[in-house]
Amino acid sequence: MRVKKAVIPAAGYGTRMLPITKAQPKEMVPVVHKPVIQYVVEEAYYSGIGDILIITGKGKRAIEDHFDRSDLPKKDKYTEELDKILDEVNIFFVRQREQKGLGDAVKYAEAFVDDEPFALLLGDTITFPPCTKELIQVYKKYKTSVVAVEEVPLEKVSLYGIVKCREVEDSVYLIEDLVEKPSIDEAPSTLAILGRYILTPEIFECIRETKPGKGGEIQLTDAMRILNTKERMYAYLFKGKRYDIGNKLDWLKANIEMALDDAEVGEGIRELIRSIEV
């Protein structure tokens, strides 16, 4: 079955970006020419997906407004690109009624998914080249849930969901277990879930079976751990660039690195960097 739908959770508070996100969603923070959420929608579009559900929450109305067609009398190429995408995809919105974790947010997509496999893209993460497009290729071969992972330093494993797995082919691993934010001593590997998934609809029953964790939140990693007992799951080692715009350092890094590669502002940024080199 082809992956035709994408779900983008964008309901988190973004406390690590305060005070930048005090009055705007973290998904609307700009990276060079566009807000983060636009890069995520473009990734889904360029991965061949035609129906997108964005899960928002309190204080996230700006996300919905951004994906209205522009009525500006004069548009730049970035606005024109967005309008072209809006002509070719269907974007829907639903609100998470209270902050109860990523797993809880994903359950709001059950009616939208309608018993089909779907792509899940976190709304504050940018990947280049489009990670979702690569995951879909892995899904076509294995016909089951696939999670994108990346190597992280051992001292950072406690910030991520970590997979225990064994390699079955180049960059593809069979998942044996998943652990949410383990300590260094408990981490089964240094392969961290990076915010891109292809999931089967069985995940929704697993979310219902998942007990709330710290702060009463339903963790998606815990639900996937249940899913892994019911069907085979694979991890795909993504070797491209990934930026977590949920923290200020990665946000600044994304702006600098992506600006350096940009035809419009790249040379100006290089000149600025040369002028401040010590």
User: What confidence tens digit (pLDDT) does each residue in 179-230 have?
Assistant: 988 999 999 999 999 999 999 999 999 999 999 987 788 999 999 999 999 9
Q: How far apart are CA 127 and CA 2, in angstroms?
A: 22
pTM, rounded to two decimals: 0.94
Asked if 126 and 26 count as a contact pair (C-beta separation under 8 A), the reply is no
Q: Per residue in 192-218, is it b (16+ CB within 10 Å) or e — as a string? A: bbbbbbbbbebbbebbeebeeeeeebb
Q: How far apart are CA 221 and CA 245, in angstroms?
A: 20
Least confident of 84-88, 96-100, 126-130: 96-100
Asked if 136 and 148 count as a contact pair (C-beta separation under 8 A), the reply is no
Residue pLDDT, tens place only, 221-268: 999 999 999 999 999 999 999 998 988 998 999 999 999 999 999 999
- For the domain made up of 5-262, give the CATH fold: Spore Coat Polysaccharide Biosynthesis Protein SpsA; Chain A (3.90.550)
Residue pLDDT, tens place only, 29-79: 999 999 999 999 999 999 999 999 999 988 899 999 999 988 877 778 888
- Which pLDDT does position 278 carry in this prediction? 57
